[in-house]
Structure 1
Amino acid sequence: MIKVLIVEDDPMVAEFNKRYLQKIEGFSLIDTASTVKNAMEIINREQVDLILLDIYMPRENGLELLKKIIKLGKGIDVIVISAASDMRSVKTALRYGAVDYLIKPFEYERFQSALTSYREEVRFMEKQESISQEELDKYIFNKDSSATNDQITDLPKGLTKNTLKLILENIVELEGSPFSAEELASKVGISRVSMQKYIYFLTSLGLLTSEVSYGSVGRPVSRYQYVESKDYLIKQYK
């Protein structure tokens, strides 16, 4: 079950979000919070996988909570649900790693789409150790695989240039040492789900190579290495 925290200062809206969430299979509500401070107390006390986050709140706003989550490095994903429709708020939320953004008021169908898409991405990534380009485009980046290379100049959906730059800087600091998605996610301060999207993208470009590592306990883990000689492949996306 995906464990969810609702952060919303309006009790009526929080109740609606709670009822909507209960209709969708695969999610479990951990708690609700009406302030950033209260949310941080819950995050430090409970396991939280996903936050449904409002931006307009008393004292600190939701964007401040997004910053704090990144610094914690706990791998928590965020879907913003807010009346904030200005591009600055949207861009900032996406830059800080929000996986989706719903503008109030919204229909239940949009809420359902956001949650089910997120759930299926989580399930897909959990059972995949490797992936084809066709699967990558279809399930993660939502791109038409028939598009030509000349047409693909923008980053895939859900990826941002600032986060990509931060990830590349951290990979370079490893000086060729192999790493897992979980290790890099913790180092950068974003969720494993978000990190896996960037790793799939970099692997599809040929900037990362992967090898499955079999430990004495637990599932096999894919470990990645940076191919410095192919750094030129990423320049069109910077």
Structure 2
Amino acid sequence: MIDVLIVEDDIRVAEINRRFVEKIEGYRVVGVANTGEEAKEYLEVMQPQLVLLDVYLPDMKGVELVWHIRQRYKHTDIIMITAGGEIETVQESIRGGVFDYLVKPVLFERFKRSMEKYRQYLTTLSKHHQLDQKLLDQILWSKEEITETPYGPSLPKGIDPITLEKVVQIVSDYETQGITAEQVGVQMGASRTTARRYLEYLVSIKRLKADLSYGSIGRPERRYYPMTSL
């Protein structure tokens, strides 16, 4: 579990952020601080792995807390969540090494993507004793491409690991008769084109098999099966 400290002076927003975190697997909130001084106390006692930090606090600026964390807690990372998008604030936050910068109002999908990329970033670091140029480029310049999954060390752009797992589960229920891209799309709530993109990727990495099914009427259908079938 990744321990998260929320630092937000607006109680309503803090509660929204807490609920967002609790919806995402692998995270837990260990504290909610409404001031910078409260945050410092939580940091000293809890030493969370991740801080969700607002820029505007009643007793200090959030960027001051960024440098406080950098100087004292080298294993703690920061994601800024704030209404403040001023250039100077963003620049100083980036200089302080924040992992991401979200501007309010934050949509859950954007929040979730940031948290998932952070978890994938940690997974990448934990699985490699030494990083080559490709992995370093992904970590430093292209966090969107870092995806450690059961399907390989990285996933191509446009392939989401959670959706990929859902597609695998759907196909596994059709071991005998197979399933078409259109049928998968209906079950996953996506278009046939999207479903086919995931299905063909799974075929390319040999997690699924595909075969043409010739019906009595119309063109042949491409059906997908688990690797244990056919």
Q: Normalised by the shorter chain, which TM-score bucket? A: 0.5 to 0.7
Aligned to 2:54: 54
Deviations 1:117-168 (A, max 9, x none): 000000110111123333333455329xxxxxxxxxxxxxxxxxxxxxxxxx
Aligned residue pair count? 143
Contact 2:47 2:76 in 1 (8 A): no
Aligned to 1:15: 15
Deviations 1:179-212 (A, max 9, x none): xxxxxxxxxxxxxxxxxxxxxxxxxxxxxxxxxx
Distance 2:133 2:67 in 1: 32
Letter in 2 for 1:36: G
Letter in 1 for 2:16: F
Aligned to 1:112: 112
Distance 1:135 1:9 in 2: 37
- SS of 1:119's partner is helix
TM-score with structure 2 setting the length: 0.59
Aligned to 1:129: 129
Per the TM alignment, residue 60 of structure 1 is displaced from its structure 2 partner at its CA by 0.8
Distance 1:52 1:96 in 2: 14
Report whether the alignment pairs 1:32 with 2:70. no
> Residue 34 and residue 142 in structure 1: after superposition, are their counterparts in 2 closer, same or farther (change >3 A)?
same
Aligned to 1:94: 94
Contact 1:121 1:140 in 2 (8 A): no
Aligned to 2:220: none
Distance 2:33 2:66 in 1: 14
TM-score with structure 1 setting the length: 0.57
Distance 1:73 1:33 in 2: 17
Correspondences of 1:159-238 after superposition (within 5 Å)? none
Distance 2:139 2:53 in 1: 25
> Residue 103 and residue 128 in structure 1: after superposition, are their counterparts in 2 closer, same or farther (change >3 A)?
same
RMSD, matched Cα: 1.5
Report whether the alignment pairs 1:72 with 2:72. yes
Contact 1:78 1:99 in 2 (8 A): yes
Letter in 2 for 1:47: Q
Letter in 1 for 2:14: A
- Using the aligned pairs only, state the percent identity: 39
Aligned to 2:192: none
Distance 2:26 2:103 in 1: 23
> Residue 124 and residue 87 in structure 1: after superposition, are their counterparts in 2 closer, same or farther (change >3 A)?
same
Q: Which has the higher contact order (CA 8 A, sep 6+)?
A: 1
Distance 2:96 2:108 in 1: 25
Aligned to 1:103: 103
- SS of 1:25's partner is coil
> Residue 132 and residue 97 in structure 1: after superposition, are their counterparts in 2 closer, same or farther (change >3 A)?
closer
Per the TM alignment, residue 44 of structure 1 is displaced from its structure 2 partner at its CA by 0.7
Greater strand proportion: 2
Contact 2:37 2:59 in 1 (8 A): no
Aligned to 1:231: none
